[in-house]
């Protein structure tokens, strides 16, 4: 096609909005069947994805056909994570206001690297930072960077920790790198999340040279087994074990680490939000004593993917580590997002995050956290009444379920994953297989849970 004609045709699509209407009706159809369709796509729907295996087209296609392919074959193979019966991993749904806000911001297509690139994205980053620091009870002045998820948030926080510990030793990592630098000790619980090890390996601290703290039967670090710490130590604490949902004894660990002058990071991907409710705040007691935190808004908070948050008490320490300069970069007196994150160009996730927080307010956020916990407890008690073994103390939103034998657990999990009626993942807990249920969606109701318990019973029996 002649390039001029192609541009005219594309401009017409932008102006007449037919494509957007088409996308809207596909989206509405998805929303309407979310509650009654399979939670997991059928084997046929997944098989149909083969249609995407084709060579890159030689010439421009028909935009309506492109979108239709997504709206039919694509949509049929989507996993209903935003519904009420998805309990896999720790996923979280999304609120209507956040989805709608994201649609709007997608239309704006803002780049949040610099204030001059997007004053609205910068303003909302500033507001979200203030609100999150406040609602979690973190020290005033704590800075937040908005990244894709906790994996990146942890990398950022550990980079800051590494750089600051070395700076105190008179070693500038930016200039000199790590070769010949004074050693940094890293202390973690034996059940630290895999993303912590990934971060350690990324940033040159190594995942095999960490000092492990043994854990109790819920996966919590045993405080009395904490080694002596010093000012060259990075202690990584967990608020929310990815299997059991348990929280390390944060307050005691922080006190000991502070006394020694160690850097404290808290991985609170889904658990940090416990601080937002009076009923669960005790689990996070002492978090304000840490130096850095990482959390996901796309899990417990039910903000859309992708939304991770790195928080650092010393705002200058965060910007020192994330800084970049180039002749064309135009910093301002206002918030320049790229000073807080590794990326330069970055989507403006602050927009839908703000919409979520503004919609929920303090009490809405607290009720969300309470609801997830109450639903998890209800789920566990129903399962227990039906003869399932609940292998963890259900303190937050995670439930570990076992049958009378490991084989039966494995069989039941396979059957329920094949049923399509709900979705849970599996894990290994104390050397035995377990069905892992994470109640993380605002959509889940007591009726959903009753249905799911029934399905679990049928799969087992």
Tokens describing residue 202: 């990324």
Decide: is 151 part of the binding site for ligand PLP (CB under 6 A): yes
Instruction: Answer yes or no whether residue 376 interacts with ligand PLP by CB under 6 A.
Output: no
Count of residues of this chain found to bind ligand PLP when the rule CB under 6 A is applied:
13
Site for ligand PLP in 196-235 (CB under 6 A): none
Nearest to 157 by CA among 113, 128, 200: 200
In this complex, which beta carbon is closest to ligand PLP, that of residue 114 or of residue 196?
196
Closer Cβ to ligand PLP, 293 or 354, answer by number: 293
Phi/psi region, residue 446 (left: phi>0; alpha: psi -120 to 50; beta: rest), is: alpha
Classify 325 as helix, strand or coil: coil
Residues 333-372: x where in contact with ligand PLP by CB under 6 A, - otherwise, as a string: ----------------------------------------
Stretch that binds ligand PLP, among 50-58, 156-164, 263-271, 414-422 (CB under 6 A): 263-271
C-alpha span between 87 and 92 (Å, rounded): 9
Q: How far is the CB of 147 from ligand PLP (least distance, A)?
A: 9
Q: Is 436 in the site for ligand PLP (CB under 6 A)?
A: no
Find the helix or strand (DSSP H, E) in which 146 lies: strand 143-147
Cα separation, 226 vs 387, in Å, equals 38
Does 392 help bind ligand PLP (rule: CB under 6 A)? no
Q: Between 119 and 342, name the residue whose CB sits nearer to ligand PLP.
A: 342
Query: Is 192 within 8 Å of 222 (Cβ atoms)?
Result: no
243 binds ligand PLP, rule: CB under 6 A: no
Which residue of 81, 93, 110, 195 would you call a contact of ligand PLP, by CB under 6 A?
195
Q: Which is nearer to ligand PLP, 133 or 309 (CB)?
A: 309
87-146 residues near ligand PLP, rule: CB under 6 A: 90
Check binding of 375 to ligand PLP (CB under 6 A): no
* Rounded alpha-carbon distances, angstroms, from residue 60 to 2, 38, 71: 10, 35, 19
Residue 154: CB minimum distance to ligand PLP, A: 6
Cα–Cα distance measured from residue 115 to residue 327, given in angstroms and rounded to the nearest whole number: 16
Q: Return d(Cα 237, Cα 192) in angstroms, integer.
A: 8
Burial of 44 per CB tally in 10 Å (0-12, 13-18, 19+): exposed
Q: Are 80 and 38 in contact (CB under 8 A)?
A: yes
Q: Is 267 in the site for ligand PLP (CB under 6 A)?
A: yes
Residue 242 touching ligand PLP (CB under 6 A): yes
Torsion sign over Cα 91, 95, 98, 102: positive
Q: Is 270 in the site for ligand PLP (CB under 6 A)?
A: yes
H/E segment holding residue 144: strand 143-147
CA distance 185 to 145: 25
Alpha helices in 17-112 (DSSP H): 18-33, 43-47, 63-69, 75-76, 96-108
Return the number of the residue (269 or 290) whose C-beta is nearest ligand PLP.
269
Which one, 122 or 128, has the nearer CB to ligand PLP? 128
Task: Give whichever of 95 and 270 is closer to ligand PLP, judged by the CB atom.
Answer: 270
Q: How far is the CB of 241 from ligand PLP (least distance, A)?
A: 7
193 binds ligand PLP (CB under 6 A): yes
What value does the CA radius of gyration of the chain take, rounded to a whole number of Å? 24
* Residue 156 CB, nearest approach to ligand PLP (Å): 12
Residue of minimal Cβ distance to ligand PLP: 149
- Residues lying near ligand PLP in the complex (CB under 6 A) are found at 90, 149-151, 193, 195, 240, 242, 267, 269-270, 296, 308
């Amino acid at each position: 096609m002649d390039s001029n004609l192609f541009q005219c045709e594309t401009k017409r699509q932008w102006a007449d909005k037919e494509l957007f209407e088409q996308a809207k009706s596909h989206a509405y159809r998805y929303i309407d069947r979310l509650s009654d369709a399979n939670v997991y796509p059928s084997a046929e729907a997944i098989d149909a994805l083969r249609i995407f295996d084709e060579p890159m087209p030689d010439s421009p296609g028909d935009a309506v056909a492109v979108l239709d392919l997504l709206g039919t074959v694509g949509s049929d193979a989507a996993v209903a994570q935003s519904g009420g019966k998805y309990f896999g991993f720790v996923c979280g749904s999304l609120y209507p206001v956040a989805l709608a806000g994201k649609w709007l911001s997608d239309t704006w297509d803002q780049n949040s690297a610099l204030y001059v690139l997007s004053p609205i994205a910068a303003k909302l980053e500033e507001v979200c930072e203030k609100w999150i620091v406040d609602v979690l009870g973190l020290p005033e002045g704590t800075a937040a960077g908005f990244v894709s998820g906790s994996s990146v948030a942890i990398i950022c926080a550990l980079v800051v920790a590494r750089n600051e510990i070395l700076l105190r030793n008179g070693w500038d990592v930016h200039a000199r790198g790590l070769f010949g630098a004074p050693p940094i000790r890293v202390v973690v619980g034996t059940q630290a999340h895999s993303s912590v090890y990934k971060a350690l390996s990324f940033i040159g601290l190594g995942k095999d040279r960490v000092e492990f703290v043994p854990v109790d039967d819920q996966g919590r670090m045993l405080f009395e087994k904490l080694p002596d710490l010093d000012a060259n130590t990075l202690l990584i604490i967990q608020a929310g074990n990815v299997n059991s949902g348990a929280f390390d004894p944060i307050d005691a660990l922080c006190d000991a680490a502070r006394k020694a002058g160690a850097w404290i990071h808290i991985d609170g991907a889904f658990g940090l939000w416990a601080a937002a409710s009076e009923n669960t705040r005790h689990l996070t007691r002492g978090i304000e004593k840490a130096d850095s935190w990482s959390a996901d808004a796309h899990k417990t908070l039910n903000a859309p993917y992708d939304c991770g948050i790195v928080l650092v008490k010393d705002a200058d320490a965060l910007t020192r580590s994330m800084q970049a300069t180039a002749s064309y970069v135009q910093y301002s007196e206002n918030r320049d997002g790229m000073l807080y994150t590794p990326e330069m160009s970055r989507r403006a996730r602050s927009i839908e995050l703000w919409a979520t927080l503004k919609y929920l307010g303090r009490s809405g956020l607290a009720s969300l956290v309470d609801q997830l916990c109450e639903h998890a407890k209800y789920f566990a008690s129903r399962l227990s009444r039906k003869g399932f073994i609940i292998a963890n103390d259900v303190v937050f939103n995670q439930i570990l379920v076992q049958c009378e034998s490991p084989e039966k657990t494995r069989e039941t999990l396979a059957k329920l994953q094949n049923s399509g009626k709900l979705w849970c993942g599996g894990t290994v807990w104390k050397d035995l297989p377990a069905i892992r249920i994470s109640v993380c969606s605002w959509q889940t109701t007591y009726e959903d849970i009753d249905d799911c318990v029934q399905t679990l019973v049928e799969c087992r029996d």
